[in-house]
Chain A
Amino acid sequence: MSRYVLGVSALYHESAAVLLRDGVVVAASSEERFSRQKQDSALPVRASRWCLEQAGISMADVEAVVYYEKPLRKFERILVSQLTGFPSTLPAFQRTALTWLTDKLWVRNALCKELGARPSQLMFSEHHLSHAASAFYCSPFERAAVLTVDGVGEWATTSLWQGDEHGLKPLSEVRFPHSLGLTYSAFTAFLGFRVNNGEYKVMGLASYGEPRHVDKVEKVLQGVDGGGFQNDTRYVAWHKSTVRSYSGAFEQLFGAPRQPGTPLDPRQGEGKHYADIAASVQVVLEERLLALAERLHADTGLDALCMAGGVALNVVANRRLLRDGPFAHLYVQPASGDAGGALGAAQWAWHEVLGQPRVDPGLTPGLGRDWPDDRVRTLLDELNVRFDDVADDRIERAADDIAAGKVIGWFQGRCEWGPRALGHRSILADPSRPDMQDRVNKVIKLREPFRPFAPSVTAEAADTYFDVPPGGEGPAEWMTIIGDTREEHREAMPAITHVDGTARLHRVRREVNPRYHALIEAVGARTGRPVVLNTSFNLKGDPIVSSPVHALSTLQSCEMDAVYLGPCRVARGQLPRGGAS
C-alpha cells in the first residue's frame, strides 16, 4: 500500500502544499494558483485539498502533515529582536504581537481545523532544514554540499550543510539580523520595488549599471573571516520594524530612495544612478555567496553544490557561483522561495523521520492543476466562446502564429511548480522581431520596459545559440541560471538578450515536455531558429494562470492575439464582449 506525506508552508511568504506518494511528488501547488492572490501566504487550504483529490485520497490516508518551520522558535526570535530594540520597537511589537497572538501562534490548531489534519499527524520541520532537504533530495547527487540562503527562517538566514547517505548534517549558519536576503530586499525597497517580488527587477536593473557604490554597500554588509558576513545594524531596520527595512543612516549613505511607480530609464540620469546601486549590491551579493561556497567546499571536500532559499533565485549569482566558485556541479531547487519549503518539509519527514531510502522525487515542471481536453471544450461551449478545434494540429498552428509575429498564450498540461513558466502556462512569441520586447512589455505584461524576456530553446540547439558554463545544463532546464547569447546571434534575438548579452534561458528536453519541445522545433522550421520568447502566462501583479477561465480573462485584458487552451485555439476576437457593452 502507498504511503503519503503532505508538506505545508504558510503564513510568511508564498504558501504551498506538496503531496508525496512513497517519496515521489504527485501534486504540488502554491495557494496563489487557486486563490488568485499573488504570493498568497494564507494557509494553503485549497492547494492541500486539491493535492489530496489529485491522489484520490483523504486526509485520513496521509501518514504525516509536515509544517515547514518551527512557529514558536520563529516567534521567539521576533520577540527577542524586538526586545533588544527597546524602546523604539513599540509599534512593531504591537503589530507582531497582534498577528502572532491572534493567528500565527496557533498553526497546530489551524492545520487541524482548516486542513482537517489530526494532531497525531502533525510534524514540524525547520525553515532552513526544509530548504536544504528540498535542494538535496531533489538533486541528482548522492553526496553534496548544500547552501540555503534567504531573508530569515527561525534564526538562521544562511545555512551550510552536508548531504549524504546519512541524511543532512548542519555545519554552520549565519543568524538574524545578519542576512543576505534581507539586505537584497532592503535595496529592493530602496530602489522603489516591492519586497519579495521586485528582487528580480533589481537583478535586471543591475545589468545597466556600473558597480560604483561597492564600498558603500560593503558598509551595510561586510564579509568576515571564515566565509561569513555581517550587517552593520545602524544602516538597517528590519530587526526593529515590520514596515521599514533600512534606516535614516542608509539614506544618508545612498541618497533619496526611488519613488515606487515612477518611470525608470536605467540608461541615464537618476535611473542610471539607481542602476549603479543595483549593480553594486549585486556584485557584493555575488562576492558573499562565493565566499560561502569556498568555505562550504573546504568543509565538505565535495564537488557538487545544491541550493535553495529565496536568494537561490538570483540566476545571475548562480552563474557566477558555477563559473568562479569551487564547485563543478550545481543544482538549484526551482521553487527556492518559501513555497519550496513545503516540498522540503515533506521530503525531510519521508527520508529522515520515516527513515525511507532516497528515491527520484520525479520533479517535473508540471505538477499543478490539469484540465482534460473535453472539459475545456465543454467550458468554452457553455461560455459562448468561439474556438477552432486544433487538437490534431495545435503545434503546427501555434508555430504558424508565432512565426507570423503573433503573441500567443500556451496553456497545455499541468500548471507549473515554482515561480517560472516552463512551457505549460506560457506567453510565447518570436524573439527575432525587433519590436517584440517592447510589445510584450508594454501592451501584454504591462511591466517595466527595461526587463528582457527569457528564451526557450531545444536542448539540441541550446549550445548553438547560448553559452552556459559547464555544469549549468541542469539548472538551465529550470531557468535557475543565466547564459550568454552567443555573440553572432545577439542582434538577431534582441527580445531575449539582456543589455549585457546574457539570457535566462530555458533548455527544453524532449523527454521532459514533448509537446513544448515539438512546438519549439516547429517554430525553428519556420524561422530558422528553434528559440521562442517565453514569459509567464499572467498580467503584471497576477499569479500565473492555472485554469481556463483565468486564461480567457487574461486574453480579454491584454493585447495577446490568441490562446491555445488544450485542444482549442481562441483568438482575441472570438471572446464575448463585456457585460454592459
Chain B
Amino acid sequence: MRFADIRPGPVLVGVSHIVWRLPGRPATKMAEFAHTELGSGHDMLEACELTPRPEMRPLYFLHALDELRHSRMFRERARALAIERSRTQAVLDDSGYLHSHGIRGSDPLFTELGELDFLAFVWLHEQRGAAQFGIYAGLMDEDPASREMFARIEKDERFHIAYSRKELERLAAQGQASAVSAAVWRIRWRRFKQGWLRFSRLIGDTMAKLWLTVIYVVGITPFALIAKLTEREQGGLVPAEVDDRPAAQRALEQL
C-alpha cells in the first residue's frame, strides 16, 4: 500500500489558469469555495459527534474548526472581490447550494461511508483541495491578499492530509492493509461515479430544457390563451371553496 500524495496534473493547472482570469469569476469561485468548505466543516463536526472511536474525536473537531474558518475566509474574499455584488451575494446566500450540487445528502457523510471509508475520503479529498488551492495561490500575483489566504489554507490542508494518512497507515500496519486499500479505491470509484452523474445530469438538464422550450412554444400556446382568458387576476377576499367531503377523504388527495 503506497500513500503517495496527488500532484496537480497539467489539465487542472491549465484550466485553472483560464477560469481564474474570466472577469467576475474569482469572486464566484470564492463564494463557491465558501460553501464547499462549510460543507466539509459540517461533515467533520458530524464525524466528531458520531465516531465510536474517542481518539479520533479531537482530530475531527480541529479539522472542522479549520474548515469552518476557511469558509468564513472565502466568504470575506468573495465579497471583497465581487464586481457585481448582487450576483456574488446570491451565490453566497444560496442556502440550498450543498444539496443542489450533490455535496451533502440527507444523511451524514460519516454514516454513509463508515469510519474507514470516511478516512479514505478525507485523505483523498484534502489532497485534491490542497493541490487546487496551491495552484490558485500561484495565480494570485496581482492579489496578495488572496494569495496569502490560499497559502494559509493550504497549510491547514496539509495537516488534514497528514493526520488522515497517518491514521490510514496505522490501520494498514495493523494488518488491515487490504481493507484500507479497498476503501481508497471505493472512494476513488465513488468520486468517478459522482463526476459521471454530474455530467449526465448536465446533459439531461440541457436536453430537458430544450424539450421544455419546444413544449412551451408549440404545445402550450393554446392553453396559455385559455388561461389568459380565464385568468384568476381577481384580488380581494373571495369566499373560500368549501369541500363538504369528510376530512378523511380529502386527506388522501394531493390535488
A37 touches which of B63, B99, B241 (Cβ 8 Å): B99
Across the interface, which residues of A come within 8 angstroms of B241, CB to CB? 170
Segment touching A, from B9-17, B132-140, B168-176, B204-212: B204-212
CB of A131 closer than 8 Å to a CB of B:
no
- CB nearest neighbor in A for B111: A46
Whether the pair B79, A261 counts as a contact (CB closer than 8 A) is: yes
CB of A353 closer than 8 Å to a CB of B:
yes
Across the interface, which residues of B come within 8 angstroms of A557, CB to CB? 65, 68-69, 72
* Complex Cα–Cα for A579 and B158 (A): 10
CB of A84 closer than 8 Å to a CB of B:
yes
Q: Within the complex, what minimum Cβ distance (angstroms) separates A351 from chain B? A: 9
Segment touching B, from A172-180, A432-440, A457-465: A172-180
The contact sample of 6 A-B pairs, CB cut-off 8 A, is A72-B255, A73-B255, A98-B208, A173-B238, A174-B235, A349-B251
Interface centre among A37, A46, A72, A76 (most CB of B within 10 A): A37
Instruction: Count residues of chain A with CB under 8 A from any CB of chain B.
Output: 87
Whether the pair A97, B212 counts as a contact (CB closer than 8 A) is: yes
CB of A39 closer than 8 Å to a CB of B:
yes
CB of A230 closer than 8 Å to a CB of B:
yes
Whether the pair A43, B65 counts as a contact (CB closer than 8 A) is: no
Whether the pair B159, A174 counts as a contact (CB closer than 8 A) is: no
Interface centre among B42, B85, B212, B252 (most CB of A within 10 A): B212
* Complex Cα–Cα for A73 and B86 (A): 33
Known: A36-B42, A259-B85, A549-B48. A173 touches B237 (CB 8 A): yes
Q: Within the complex, what minimum Cβ distance (angstroms) separates B205 from chain A? A: 6
Q: Within the complex, what minimum Cβ distance (angstroms) separates B136 from chain A? A: 18
Binary interface encoding of chain B residues 207-224 relative to chain A, with 1 for a CB under 8 A from any of its CBs, else 0: 011001100110011011
Segment touching B, from A219-227, A317-325, A412-420: A219-227
Segment touching A, from B18-26, B88-96, B142-150, B190-198: B88-96
- CB nearest neighbor in B for A161: B240
Interface centre among A83, A171, A172, A292 (most CB of B within 10 A): A83
Interface residues on B, range: 35 or more
- CB nearest neighbor in B for A198: B93
CB of A160 closer than 8 Å to a CB of B:
yes
CB of B228 closer than 8 Å to a CB of A:
yes
Whether the pair A226, B237 counts as a contact (CB closer than 8 A) is: yes
CB of A229 closer than 8 Å to a CB of B:
yes
B45 touches which of A40, A76, A553, A579 (Cβ 8 Å): A553
Whether the pair B209, A94 counts as a contact (CB closer than 8 A) is: yes
Whether the pair B240, A170 counts as a contact (CB closer than 8 A) is: yes
Whether the pair B106, A114 counts as a contact (CB closer than 8 A) is: yes
B232 touches which of A42, A175, A194, A260 (Cβ 8 Å): A175
Q: Within the complex, what minimum Cβ distance (angstroms) separates B95 from chain A? A: 5
Across the interface, which residues of A come within 8 angstroms of B208, CB to CB? 97-98, 101
- CB nearest neighbor in B for A189: B86
* Complex Cα–Cα for A62 and B183 (A): 38
Whether the pair A76, B224 counts as a contact (CB closer than 8 A) is: no
Across the interface, which residues of A come within 8 angstroms of B158, CB to CB? 580
* Complex Cα–Cα for A382 and B60 (A): 11
* Complex Cα–Cα for A85 and B251 (A): 32
Whether the pair A72, B254 counts as a contact (CB closer than 8 A) is: yes
Whether the pair B42, A383 counts as a contact (CB closer than 8 A) is: no
Across the interface, which residues of A come within 8 angstroms of B240, CB to CB? 156, 159-160, 170-173
